[in-house]
Amino acid sequence: MCSKCFEKINLLEPKVNRVINNSNIYACTIYEQEIQKLIRGLKYHRQKDLAHYAAKIMFEYCKDIFDDAKFQVVPVPISEKRKKKRGYNHMELVTDEFCIMTGYTKNTELIKRIKDTKPQYGLKRTKRMLNLKDAFFIEKSKYIENTPILLLDDICTTGSTFESIIFELNKNNIYNITCLALSTVGE
């Protein structure tokens, strides 16, 4: 990513994009042009260095929103099968960079994806929710007590991934959850 391309990225107004089960969802940008290229490069073309730019966008977006909060940052997990095929979870890479910038604690042990789901793109909301049913497992012993969760993902389209994870966390009496997506679909 060159500096010209990075400067073309427009951050959305720092406000709640939607609320799911009393958890605020924020989205930094619209999924188009440079953001679309960044996510695709990071996710599908092994351009791991793009994780730094994704984290920087997220950091710039939220630095004035969360003030003095201290989060445990949890990347949306991918299945072991997909991680093995890709070689990495792109959102773990983003989380690494984001935690360096913020000083927050990374927690990749709390949520596990136990079902290898179909890719979500192209699916309507109902199909997305069915696809994600029973896809996540919460390892409650890995929860850092009294530390709110900041859940990170690349794209929030219908919110179904965040919703599925929030539902599982709530089933385990974990409620202090905020979600941050690098991008969302057009408003």
DSSP 3-state assignment of 98?
Answer: helix
- Which residue would you say has higher pLDDT here, 126 or 43? 43
pTM higher than the cut 0.85: yes
Residue ranges of the domains in the chain? 11-184
What CATH number has the domain spanning 11-184? 3.40.50
Contact 122, 89 (CB under 8 A): no
| Cβ contacts of 181 within 8 Å, gap of 6 or more | 17, 25, 26, 27, 28, 152, 153, 154, 155, 156, 162
Percent of the chain with pLDDT over 70: 96
**E-assigned strand segments in the chain:** 18-20, 23-30, 72-75, 105-106, 111-113, 136-138, 149-156, 177-184
Residue 43 Cα distances to 24, 30, 33, 47, 105, angstroms: 25, 17, 15, 8, 23
| pLDDT surpasses 80 at 124 | no
Average pLDDT taken over every residue of the chain: 91
Contact 58, 38 (CB under 8 A): no
| pLDDT surpasses 60 at 131 | yes
Q: pLDDT tens digits for 154-181?
A: 999 888 999 999 999 999 999 999 999 9
| pLDDT surpasses 60 at 187 | no
Q: pLDDT tens digits for 72-107?
A: 999 999 989 989 999 999 999 999 999 999 999 999
Query: What does the pLDDT read at residue 120?
Result: 67
